[in-house]
Structure 1
Amino acid sequence: MNGEATIGMSTPPSVGLLPVASIVLTGLASAAIIVAMPGLLAGMSTKLGLTDSQIALINASEMGGTTATTLIIAAWLSRLDRRKAAFVGLVLIVLANLVSAFASTFLLLIGARFVAGLAAGALQGMLSASIAATPIPDRIFAIYLTANLTMTTIMLGLLSRFSAAGHPEWLFLSVVALAVLAILLLRWLPSEPVTLQPQGTAGTRSSRGYGPAVLLGTFILLVGVGLTWPLVGVLGLDRNMSGEAVASALSLATIGGIVASLIVSGIGDKAGRRLPISAGAAGLCVAVLIFIFDRGQTIFAAAAFIFMFCWVLILPYCAGLVATIDPSGRLSVLWVTMQFAGLATGPIIAAGLLLSSADLPFYGSVVCFGIAAALTLHAERGSRSAPKALETSSL
């Protein structure tokens, strides 16, 4: 009218408690058991006669399946009915964990865990796309992280009790329960992307390099984490700490992650993303330098707390950033792939660096955190040109 072109904008939907619960339970069913898996397999080794190499193969097969399906989901996301795909994934999670709980041979267990990995990758992809389909992805991802870290702590406690009872495999049944609850709430899983920019311009920012920048930044960030975090327990033992003291320090670190996710759940992106991403990267570097140069036991626990706090602080803002750059969800799925790839690559590089010096992996992680922050902040600058979504959420 009057010769003026109008630009269509869509209003993002509100986010109620049931959609958030659906997102959280879908994520927990696919990922909550990952941290407890090494201890769980170790507990089952006596019953099934598993060797160390077989345990490593089981872990590798599950993570390999997870990484592979996130790539497939990213390629086919626009063709998939997200709720139907999530339903198939959750059913496979139920079946794979039931088989795992009652497996009597190595081949049956590794087959079940590979299927569980395939399903978990699909669900993590659907989860990321669903979070991207909300108007407040930073806060929603932080809420999921809070639930995931809390459930991880609960599962480690359950594993201790089940192992004492001689049945560590019962932990698989807790995943079955989570998956069944997720299926019951699946109808509320967000499935349509929210449009945060004028129609017809989707993908323009990503094509200018912001999407690849944040993906590469995430990969390098998690490589840095993989260079350091798997070695933290050994560092504690090198300080003449007892196994119980190291476990206590790592439990405290988990609380640090929960605190960080609760903070982001509360404030979202009200302070922007640039400050928390910068502060998180700086905090990671400080924690690593403490690991290198200070040999005290108390400061070790503090450094572990800072490391986990800053690691978890950064992730929700990266999730929100990729959702802003590409609301369709495809970039969010690839972002999950970059996390798995980075966490898998870091320990491999660390193994090579340790042949030369015990400190090299830690120096390498500092370099990784600096590069990752630079790439992510470059993408963040580009994303700020996007119109802000109206937050009509009930959260």
Structure 2
Amino acid sequence: MARSPSTPPALLAAIVLFAAITPAVLMTAPALAAQLASQWQLSPGQIGDLFSAELGAMSLATLPAIWWLKRVNWRLAALLAGTLFVTGNLASAWAEGYTTLVILRFLTALAGGSLMILCLSSAATTDNPSRVYGLWVMGQLVLGAIGLALLPKLFASQGLASGYLLLAALGLLVLPLARAFPSGAQSPAQARSEDYGAPPLRVGLGILGLLGFYIALSGVWTFIGAMGESAGLDAQANGNVLAIATLMGILGAVIAAVIGERLPRVPSLWLGFGLMALSTLLLLGQPQLARFAIAALVFKFTWTYVLPFILASLADLDPSGRLMNLSNLVIGGGLALGPALAGRLIERQGGFDGLLLAAAVITLLSLLAVLGSRERGRAVASFDSH
């Protein structure tokens, strides 16, 4: 994929803003889940199924994108997907039955997943993908934190519909930026004749590295609150730690964006993966408040710090945009597999230590896979090739 000599501000804004609003429902899931339970009297199973439908649709958007990424003008695709996203949220605000809401959220998330694919693929064409992916992560975290702070008050006065109407309004405001996306990665003739630029083994290692990373992080993060409770921390202390962890996550993404391609990428990968594994091990053995807090803060910081460098490493393998499209499916798969595997490990072991040890091992194996996906020359001095 040919990279732009410089990233136009409008393209950067499109990538960051579209990528922030499309997963907003999942980033604010605790607030939405509470409102669905109180206003609609939905059971935990129904709420879980609703969010699973959204996450599944965002991941499944990868499958049609395999066809349209190399055949459809990306600006037109963004306009159509953005319009469907706005329309779906408007319709969700007026949905009256659970089944209707599930269908509408599935279609809306399918449009959101298509927009996310365009953001991931467009970021790979920029001159500094590490920086752009850092801002990509930061936008999602910032909007998620704002949403978690504001939505409970909004729901209390206006009800559930106000959340979906707000998302529709945000989508409408951002929609004009659809024209800032590239027209496409390459011509249809090139897309038909070219395969991935990197050998299949390196591509496979890169994908496995991303999958393992998401399995480890989602498995640990899903149950980190329960780990605090098991160690005897009260709900207030637990909540305070996790709230501060969100700010640390934003900081990690900001630092990754600032570093970008200024420094060799390999040390950043080692640092991020290494600290993530270390923070996972710090949670072993029912830690007291200080150790739990340090582990949670470091874990969230390193997760958002290292992710942009993982995605930038995948972008190096990808001349066509198809690998970044596939990464959307891999991310969704990892997010789904992590909690499922972690729950079974917890039940089998009767505690969290087995999960934590497994997550630390998977984290380090993911590091080796990502490093193995890189060209030998890039592994020595990644900035030489940018």
Q: Encode CA deviations 1:185-226: one digit per residue, 9 max, x unaligned.
A: 11112344399xxxxx96565225211111111001111112
**Secondary structure at the counterpart of residue 240 of structure 1:** coil
Asked if the contact 1:227/1:349 (under 8 Å) is kept, the reply is yes
Distance change in 2, residues 1:109/1:14 (3 Å): same
How many residues align structurally? Answer: 380
What is the aligned counterpart of 2:378 among 365, 380, 384?
384
Q: 1:204 to 1:19 in 2, by over 3 A?
A: closer
Taking a change above 3 Å as real, the CA distance of residues 388 and 204 of structure 1, as seen in their structure-2 partners, is: farther
For residues 1-395 of structure 1, what are the structure 2 equivalents within 5 Å?
12-165=4-157, 167-193=159-185, 203=195, 205-293=197-285, 295-357=287-349, 358=351, 359-382=353-376, 384=378
| Secondary structure of residue in 1 paired with 2:27 | coil
**What stretches of structure 2 of length at least 5 have no aligned partner?**
188-192
Percent identity of equivalent pairs: 27
Distance 2:72 2:376 in 1: 29
The alpha carbon displacement at 1:144 in A equals 1.7
Deviations 1:18-40 (A, max 9, x none): 11111112112211231212431
TM-superposed deviation, 1:294: 5.3
Amino acid at match of 2:358: G
> Relative to 1, partners in 2 of residues 1:83 and 1:11: Cα closer, same or farther, differing over 3 Å?
closer
User: Normalising by structure 1, what TM-score?
Assistant: 0.89
Cα displacement (A) at 1:374: 0.4
**SS of match in other structure, 1:331:** helix
Change in 2 beyond 3 A, CA 1:388/1:355: closer
| CA deviation profile, 1:29-61 (whole Å, cap 9, x unmatched) | 211231212431321223223122211111111
Contact 1:281 1:369 (C-alpha < 8 Å) held by counterparts: yes
Structure 1, 382-391 or 77-86: larger mean CA deviation = 382-391
Q: Secondary structure at the match of 1:50?
A: coil
Shift of 1:166: 5.5
CA separation of 1:67/1:107 partners in 2, compared to 1, >3 Å: closer, same or farther?
Answer: same
- Counterpart amino acid of residue 340 in structure 1: G
SS of 1:165 mapped into structure 2:
helix
CA distance in 2, matches of 1:250, 1:102: 33
Amino acid at match of 2:362: C
Query: CA offsets per residue over residues 122-162 of structure 1, 9 Å max, x none?
Result: 11111111111211111111112112111110000111212
Note closer, same or farther for the CA distance 1:73–1:204 as it changes in structure 2 (3 Å cut).
closer
How far apart are the structure 2 equivalents of 1:335 and 1:11?
Answer: 19
Query: Which residue identity lines up with residue 138 of structure 1 in the other structure?
Result: S
Q: Which secondary structure state, in structure 2, belongs to the residue aligned with residue 356 of structure 1?
A: helix
1:317 Cα deviation (Å)?
0.7
Q: CA deviation at 1:326?
A: 0.9
Q: 1:336 to 1:11 in 2, by over 3 A?
A: closer
Displacement of 1:228 in angstroms is 0.8
What is the CA–CA distance in structure 2 between the aligned matches of 1:169 and 1:362, rounded to whole Å?
39
The Cα of 1:251 is off from its aligned counterpart by: 1.4
**SS class of match (2:287):** coil
Deviation at 1:247, TM superposition (A): 1.8
CA contact (8 A) 1:48 1:104 kept: no
8 Å CA contact 2:227, 2:286 repeated in 1: no
The DSSP-based 3-state class of the residue aligned with 1:206 is coil
**Residues 202 and 326, structure 1, Cα contact 8 Å, conserved in 2:** no
- Matched to 1:32, the amino acid is A
- Alpha-carbon distance in structure 2 between the residues aligned to 1:10 and 1:368: 33
Secondary structure class of the residue paired with 1:355: helix
Alpha-carbon distance change, 166 to 234 in structure 1, aligned in 2, over 3 angstroms:
farther
| Paired residue type of 2:171 | A
Give the aligned CA root-mean-square deviation in angstroms: 2.6
Distance 2:261 2:310 in 1: 11
Distance change in 2, residues 1:162/1:268 (3 Å): same
Counterpart for residue 190 of structure 2: none
Letter aligned with residue 367 of structure 2: A
Q: Give 1:339 deviation, angstroms.
A: 1.0
| CA distances 1:229-262 after superposition (whole Å, capped 9, x unpaired) | 1000111112332323222211111111111111
Match of 1:6 in 2: none
Query: In the alignment, is the contact (CA less than 8 A) between 1:135 and 1:390 conserved in 2?
Result: no
Shift of 1:387: 9.8
Gaps of 5+ in 1: 1-8, 196-200
Q: Give the match's secondary structure for 2:284.
A: helix
1:368 maps to a residue whose letter is I
Offset at residue 183 of structure 1 (A): 0.9
